[in-house]
């Protein structure tokens, strides 16, 4: 059988001296696997016969092993999304909801991968764009967890008008609003009182942040729905520019400035992210172990 082509994605801040990365590389090298790394890491790992990956090689990668926290997986997912590469997360962070394999069990998990004892879970992503008066202000963007509209430096409420498939739903007065995928439902959405949605579900959830009404609740929509959020700030024209800043944040990692009247359009992206799961672990096991 031909060797797997593994792309190893380390995180220098989480993996001191790349100790865990090198242990994984040594294991896979000993198993005769074909190893690739970002050119940034090649000098540190070339003794393990790694190859510096080039953009034209992504299509041939069988699996990416991502070492870090959930944030490392989120950024890697947006980067690798178009190539449909299964992602195996090794948790070097705190919670590790996406990176479910602990460092001490990494080689055991990879042994199971080589023996075919794993499954791949399909996860949907968000696709979005920002418009003003019908014209796009930014290139389209992708999100794995969520898209969040909040105010910047000052804690002043926002008005955000929500439409679904072009039909007006409500204008929410709140600290902000979250649109999350099932993967992101256990992140900011959960902290804001939104529901947990099983990862394989084909839904999006809209959750106001600290709404100015006790009757406001999250709205779960289908993967076919298009969501539109229009920003209507509570700030007056006389207030300082700094106070009126509004931000759209994607996965807590990528930010865009918004102005009053801007419209954020969000829907399920074409394609999917594929997360490698060990057969002896379920979403409910992880939920019980890491959340409850």
Is residue 251 part of the annotated active site? The answer reads no
Nearest-10 crossing angle of helices 106-114, 19-30: 30
- Tokens found for residue 135: 């014209």
pTM of the shown model: 0.91
pLDDT tens-place string over residues 159-170: 999 999 999 999
Q: Please tell me whether 203 is known to bind a ligand.
A: no
List pLDDT tens digits, range 142-193.
Answer: 999 999 999 865 567 899 999 999 999 999 999 999 999 999 999 999 999 9
Q: Is 59 annotated as a binding residue?
A: no
Which pair of tokens denotes residue 160? 């955000």
User: Do 130 and 137 form a contact (C-beta atoms < 8 A)?
Assistant: yes
Catalytic residue among 15, 70, 251, 262: 70
CATH superfamily membership of 5-124+272-290: Probable inorganic polyphosphate/atp-NAD kinase; domain 1 (3.40.50.10330)
Q: Where are the domains of the chain?
A: 5-124+272-290, 126-268
Please indicate if the annotation marks 132 as binding a ligand: no
252 is in an annotated binding site: no
d(CA 71, CA 98) in angstroms, rounded, equals 9
**Cα–Cα distance, 97 to 289 (Å, whole number):** 10
Please provide the DSSP assignment of 223-252 as one string: TT--EEEEEEE---TTS-TTTT-EEEEETT
Fold of 126-268: Tumour Suppressor Smad4 (2.60.200)
């Amino acid at each position: 059988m031909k060797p797997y082509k593994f792309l190893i994605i380390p995180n220098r801040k989480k993996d001191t001296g790349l100790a865990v990365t090198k242990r994984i590389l040594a294991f896979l090298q000993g198993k005769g696997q074909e190893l690739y790394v970002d050119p940034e890491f090649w000098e540190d790992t070339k003794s393990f016969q790694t190859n510096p990956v080039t953009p034209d090689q992504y299509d041939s990668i069988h699996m990416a092993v991502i070492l870090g926290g959930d944030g490392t997986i989120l950024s890697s997912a947006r980067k690798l999304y178009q190539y449909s590469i299964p992602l195996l997360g090794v948790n070097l962070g705190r919670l590790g909801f996406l990176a479910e394999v602990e460092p001490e069990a990494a080689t055991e998990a990879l042994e199971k991968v080589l023996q075919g004892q794993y499954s791949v879970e399909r996860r949907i992503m968000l696709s979005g764009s920002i418009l003003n008066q019908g014209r796009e202000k930014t290139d389209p963007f992708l999100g794995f967890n969520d898209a969040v509209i909040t105010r910047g430096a000052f804690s002043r409420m926002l008005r955000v008008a929500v439409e679904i498939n072009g039909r007006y739903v409500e204008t929410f007065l709140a600290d902000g609003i979250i649109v999350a995928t099932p993967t992101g439902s256990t992140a900011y959405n959960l902290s804001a009182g939104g529901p947990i949605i099983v990862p394989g579900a084909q839904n999006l959830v809209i959750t106001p942040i600290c709404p100015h009404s006790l009757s406001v609740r999250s709205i779960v929509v289908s993967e076919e729905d298009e969501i539109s959020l229009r920003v209507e700030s509570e700030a007056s024209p006389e207030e300082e520019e700094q106070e009126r800043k509004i931000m759209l944040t994607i996965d807590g990692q990528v930010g865009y400035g918004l102005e009053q009247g801007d419209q954020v359009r969000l829907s399920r992206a074409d394609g999917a992210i594929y997360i490698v799961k060990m057969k002896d672990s379920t979403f409910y096991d992880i939920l019980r172990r890491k959340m409850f």
